[in-house]
Amino acid sequence: MSAADVVVHDGSEVLAAAAAARLITRLVDAQAAHGVASVVLTGGRTGIGVLEQVRASAARDAVNWSKVEFYWGDERFLPDGDPERNETQAREALLDHVDVDPERVHPMAPSDGKFGDDADAAAAHYAEVLATMAQHATNIAVPRFDVLLLGVGEEGHTASLFPDTPYVREAERTVVGVHDCPKPPPTRISLTLPAIRAASEVWLMTTGAAKAEPVAAALGGADPVDIPAAGARGRDRTLWLLDRSAAGAIPTPA
């Protein structure tokens, strides 16, 4: 697993724009290497803000959007089209504005879909979707993820893996139904840490002083059970994209 790189930007706006530029380049490079790129999206203000900046970028059409596989790292288990769903927000921020191939867009199921309100069944189905797309050479049943985007919560959660829960401890399954979440809505679906760690690059993006303590703890090697973001690492690269406030508690080198 990779050691973490940390990039600190002046504020949240420049962070979102710079992360968007970085994401465009990552997808262009992945398409040059593989033909089709794959990205795992996240929810939250920072993750959606980055997609809005991709949409606004003059460079966005450097990406062949019809050759991008879109997955989600977590989802709020709500009805289809609910404005709080990560899928809805990602579509409004970017996917509705570029020429995606609908067959390559893989949202997690809503709470009024074919699994009804059974988040565990919806999670098991998403695990099957990932397994179907998996390459045989890997030892975990997920596709190649070129880049997996994450946010970080004030108590250190990432995706929908909250501290001291069975979900952050999950070692076998790739996707879980998550119940009794402290951040609304209470029911969610999430990739697990083993699935996240299968990604080539994991980018943790966050801003603001409220995130300073969990960021410092994660970078300081906290136990992922206490600070789930500490367990999110990429095979080739782990990149923290922070603004000055979120980086404020990282000890400065002597």
Ligand X SMILES: O=C(O)[C@H](O)[C@@H](O)[C@H](O)[C@H](O)COP(=O)(O)O
Contact 73, 41 (CB under 8 A): yes
Residues 72-131 that bind ligand X (CB under 6 A): 74, 76, 86
Closest of 112, 75, 89, 97 to residue 187, by C-alpha: 75
* CA–CA gap between residue 178 and residue 3 (Å, rounded): 28
Size of the site for ligand X (CB under 6 A): 16
Question: To the nearest whole angstrom, how small is the minimum distance from the Cβ of residue 28 to ligand X?
Answer: 25
Q: Any idea of the CA torsion for 233, 196, 138, 28, to the nearest 10 degrees?
A: -80
- Does the protein bind ligand X through residue 53 (CB under 6 A)? no
- Does the protein bind ligand X through residue 45 (CB under 6 A)? yes
CA angle 5, 242, 105 (to 5 degrees): 85
The residue among 152 and 218 lying less far from ligand X, judged by its C-beta, is 152
The two structure tokens encoding residue 165: 């829960």
The residue among 67 and 215 lying less far from ligand X, judged by its C-beta, is 215
Instruction: Kindly write out the interface string for residues 146-185 of this chain, putting x where it contacts ligand X by CB under 6 A and - elsewhere.
Output: -----xxx---xxx-----------------------x--
Closest of 193, 136, 206 to residue 162, by C-alpha: 193
- Does the protein bind ligand X through residue 42 (CB under 6 A)? yes
Question: To the nearest whole angstrom, how small is the minimum distance from the Cβ of residue 195 to ligand X?
Answer: 14
Binding site for ligand X (CB under 6 A): 42-47, 74, 76, 86, 151-153, 157-159, 183
